[in-house]
């Protein structure tokens, strides 16, 4: 298992290019199951979760071809298999995104239940309820979801709570259903808008993606398309916080500042110097920060995927800040690791209180989930001394070559093969 060795205290400067969004690439790859024609995706991030999704598609019978760095071409003719097996799904719960497309196009799917993960139990009952509303029979047995349908029938579906991949599964399934579907209380993340753009390019008839209500007119079949994946707003915000904490002047390029409203506003309120253009964000570090509370929320609120990184920023802000994790029930595992580096943080249940400003010192720390890893990298960049971050496979799931990007900004970071 690789680890990162980071020597803190370097001032960052220069520009970094953001990759395509992992959480847009995964549903886009699942959507290739909806047609027998080739779909080309550009700006696909070279991260392990995307590689796992390639393996799921290839297991099912797709021909997935990675053409060059960030482009891939996927064609799903006849399937070898209708089952997404446990040993793949347990590696990446987003594999459940093949459920809707498989049932919609092939009338059958067996997908291992993802089970919980470090940050929470993360059930998928809203995904299954939506498929049942569309006319599928869905049974759970032996740890698998077994879904069958003739042609799906359009329906009115209201999600009990906002679910990103639940909305994506239902949206993909409805594109091939007979008649109209209305999805209500939908999640509005930019990755859902991006998926809808791909589906429309494939011939789907969709209105309202990004809002609470999405309307779909089913069509008999979809065709191939070429689509460029939206930039990763979580990676962009992570590098913005790196600039706030350890800059110099850092320019985050090839991103979508219009998707970064909540984190940029909160960081500016805390004293960060941030300028934006249409496709880039320039951060000037070295300015004093003052504490600001945050509550995570569905988009356009403050993303739960930025909660851990923001916590690191608040360790350098003067005063106490309250960070409330309102989406997942167990997303504070980075607190104990930050405390080992000298942070003054207490937490119970869904709230953490960060007292700053504290001096962080390098330590041996452990990554526990994807975004917690990113927060520990940020802490290591500003800590006095050397930090060894173990289990970086977590960060490799969702950040493309993060150590190379940080090295190019002047950080002292190396990957140690162990
Ligand atoms: C997506 O997960 C993202 N993953 C997550 O990013 C992100 O943290 C999350 O949305 C919230 O923004 C992908 O897009 C691949 P949800 P998802 O369904 O869709 C509960 C990362 O770091 N829920 O919006 O699984 C659920 O337990 C990952 O890149 C149900 O109770 O999240 C959670 O508490 C981590 N029943 C809340 O809803 C359901 O049927 C929101 O979950 C579905 C969800």
Beta-ladder partners of 139? 146
In this prediction, residue 218 carries a pLDDT of: 98
Helix (H) or strand (E) holding 58: helix 48-60
What spacing in Å lies between the alpha carbon of 120 and ligand 1's midpoint? 9
Q: What is the mean pLDDT of residues 228-248?
A: 98
Question: Domain ranges in the chain?
Answer: 3-19+231-416, 22-228
Beta-ladder partners of 215? 182, 207
pLDDT(118) > 80: no
Give the confidence band of 81 by pLDDT, cuts at 50, 70, 90: confident
Q: What is the mean pLDDT of residues 290-295?
A: 98
Give the mean pLDDT of the chain: 95
Q: Which two tokens stand for residue 326?
A: 């309102």
3-state secondary structure of 382: helix
Q: Is 72 considered catalytic here?
A: no
Atom of ligand 1 nearest to the CA of 168: 19
pLDDT(365) > 90: yes
Ligand 1 mutation target, pool 327, 329, 367, 374, most atoms within 8 A of CB: 327
Output the residue whose Cα is nearest ligand 1's atom 29.
Answer: 23
What spacing in Å lies between the alpha carbon of 302 and ligand 1's midpoint? 14
In this prediction, residue 402 carries a pLDDT of: 97
Q: Which fold has domain 3-19+231-416?
A: UDP-n-acetylglucosamine1-carboxyvinyl-transferase; Chain (3.65.10)
Q: What is the mean pLDDT of residues 102-129?
A: 89
| Cβ-Cβ contacts under 8 Å for 233 (sequence gap 6 or more) | 21, 190, 255, 256, 259, 260, 303
What φ, ψ does residue 335 adopt, rounded to 5°? -60, -45
Cβ-count burial 8-37 (b if 16+ within 10 Å, e if not): bebebeeebebbbbbbbbbbbbbbbbbbeb
- Is the CB of residue 23 less than 8 Å from the CB of residue 191? yes
Q: How many CB atoms lie within 10 A of CB 366?
A: 18
More confident site: 53 or 123: 53
In this prediction, residue 128 carries a pLDDT of: 96
Query: pLDDT per residue over 219-228, tens digit each?
Result: 999 999 999 9
Beta-ladder partners of 15? 251
In this prediction, residue 65 carries a pLDDT of: 83
- Is the CB of residue 407 less than 8 Å from the CB of residue 4? no
In this prediction, residue 115 carries a pLDDT of: 73
Q: Decide: 163 in ligand 1 pocket, CB within 6 A.
A: yes
Asked if the domains at 3-19+231-416 and 22-228 fall in one CATH topology, the answer is yes
Beta-ladder partners of 25? none
* Model confidence, pTM: 0.97
In this prediction, residue 378 carries a pLDDT of: 98
- Is the CB of residue 70 less than 8 Å from the CB of residue 20? yes
Output the residue whose Cα is nearest ligand 1's atom 35.
Answer: 305
Q: What is the mean pLDDT of residues 157-169?
A: 98
| Cβ-Cβ contacts under 8 Å for 169 (sequence gap 6 or more) | 96, 97, 99, 100, 127, 130, 131
Query: pLDDT per residue over 297-353, tens digit each?
Result: 999 999 999 999 999 999 999 999 999 999 998 899 999 999 999 999 999 989 999
Q: Which two tokens stand for residue 246?
A: 């350890």
| Cβ-Cβ contacts under 8 Å for 274 (sequence gap 6 or more) | 240, 244, 264, 267, 268, 281, 282, 283, 284
Q: Which fold has domain 22-228?
A: UDP-n-acetylglucosamine1-carboxyvinyl-transferase; Chain (3.65.10)
What spacing in Å lies between the alpha carbon of 376 and ligand 1's midpoint? 22
- Is the CB of residue 286 less than 8 Å from the CB of residue 50? no
Query: pLDDT per residue over 310-322, tens digit each?
Result: 999 999 999 999 9
In this prediction, residue 121 carries a pLDDT of: 77
Give the confidence band of 175 by pLDDT, cuts at 50, 70, 90: very high
């Amino acid at each position: 298992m690789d680890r990162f060795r980071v020597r803190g205290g370097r001032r960052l400067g220069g520009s970094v290019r953001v990759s395509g969004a992992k959480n847009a690439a995964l549903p886009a790859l699942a959507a290739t199951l909806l047609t027998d024609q080739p779909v080309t995706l550009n700006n696909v991030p070279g991260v392990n979760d995307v590689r796992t999704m390639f393996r799921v598609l290839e297991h099912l019978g797709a021909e997935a071809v990675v053409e060059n760095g960030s482009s891939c071409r996927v064609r799903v003719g006849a399937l070898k298999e209708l089952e997404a097996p446990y040993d793949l799904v347990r590696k990446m719960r987003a594999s459940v995104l093949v459920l809707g497309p498989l049932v919609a196009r092939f009338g059958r799917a067996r997908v291992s239940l993802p089970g919980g993960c470090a940050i929470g139990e993360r059930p998928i009952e809203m995904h299954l309820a939506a498929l049942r509303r569309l006319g599928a029979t869905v049974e759970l047995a032996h740890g698998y979801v077994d879904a069958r349908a003739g042609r799906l029938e359009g329906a009115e579906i209201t999600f009990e709570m906002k679910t990103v991949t639940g909305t994506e599964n239902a949206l993909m399934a409805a594109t091939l259903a007979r008649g109209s579907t209305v999805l209500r209380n939908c999640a509005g993340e930019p990755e859902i808008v991006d998926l809808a753009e791909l589906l429309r390019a494939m011939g789907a008839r969709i209105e309202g993606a990004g809002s609470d209500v999405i309307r779909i007119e089913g069509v008999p079949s979809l065709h191939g398309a070429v689509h460029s994946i939206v930039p990763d707003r979580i990676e962009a915000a992570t590098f913005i916080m790196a600039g706030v904490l350890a800059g110099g002047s850092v320019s985050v390029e090839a991103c979508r500042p219009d998707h970064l409203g909540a984190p940029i506003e909160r960081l500016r309120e805390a004293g960060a110097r941030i300028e934006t253009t249409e496709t880039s964000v320039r951060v000037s570090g070295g300015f004093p920060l003052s504490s600001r509370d945050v509550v995570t929320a569905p988009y356009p609120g403050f993303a739960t995927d930025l909660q851990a990184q923001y916590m690191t920023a608040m360790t350098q802000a003067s005063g106490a800040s309250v960070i409330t994790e309102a989406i997942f029930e167990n997303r504070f595992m980075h607190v104990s690791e930050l405390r080992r580096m000298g942070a003054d943080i207490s937490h119970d249940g869904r709230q953490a209180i960060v007292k700053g400003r504290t001096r962080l010192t390098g330590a041996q720390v452990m990554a526990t989930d994807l975004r917690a890893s990113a927060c520990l990298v940020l802490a290591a960049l500003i800590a006095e001394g050397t930090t060894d971050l173990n289990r970086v496979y977590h960060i490799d799931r969702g950040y493309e070559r993060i150590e190379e990007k940080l090295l190019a900004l002047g950080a002292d970071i190396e990957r140690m093969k162990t």
